[in-house]
Amino acid sequence: MTKILVCLFGLYVAAAALPASAGQLLPVPEYPAPVPDEPYVYELSAAPAVPVSHNVKYKDLDEMSPCAAPKIIVVRNPCADPCDPCEPECVAIQICVPTRGCELISCRRNGNRIRYDYGKYAVDVRIKRNYIEVDYQD
């Protein structure tokens, strides 16, 4: 009980020590409103460039989601030579994924099998000997 009274007394003393203008709200400074017509520009010059692979075979395009949007992913290069330092280890490919739903990514076989699962729809990416296979599942 005495602890509560001491605490309340401390709050009363602290409130009494405040100036009279402390109870008033200060005006909010005005900032310039963002212009919706201006596009956003992102600087990607610091990121290393990843080449786009053209050795991609797409299967079952009729099983693709009807509301699919393109997505760029980075996978292991099937044509990479470990003795050639000029050959990139990873390449970028484009897949089309549903715009709605939660994305569940699973990886098997040391990164050679990647599955993007969206519930009803899924995209399987397989790294073959000389190409990359993208298989759509519904």
| Average pLDDT of span 38-55 | 65
pLDDT tens digits along 48-88: 678 888 899 999 999 999 989 999 999 999 988 888 888 88
Which of 79, 64, 60, 87 shows the shortest CA–CA distance to 128?
Answer: 79
Main-chain dihedrals φ then ψ at residue 13, nearest 5 degrees: -65, -40
For residues 85-104, give the mean pLDDT. Answer: 90
More confident of the two residues 44 and 135: 135
Contacts 24+ apart (CB under 8 A), 72-81: 73/114, 73/125, 74/50, 75/111, 75/114, 75/125, 75/127, 75/132, 76/111, 76/112, 76/127, 77/53, 78/127, 78/128, 78/129, 78/130, 78/131, 78/132, 79/55, 79/130
User: Full-prediction pTM beyond 0.85?
Assistant: no
pLDDT at 39: 56
- Residue 8's pLDDT is 41
What's the pLDDT band for 12 if we cut at 50, 70, 90? very low
CB within 8 Å of 74: residues ≥ 6 apart? 50, 90, 91, 92
Does 133 score more than 60 pLDDT? yes
- Enumerate the domain spans of the chain: 56-137
If pLDDT is split at 50, 70 and 90, which confidence band does 40 have? low
Q: What is the mean pLDDT of residues 97-126?
A: 92
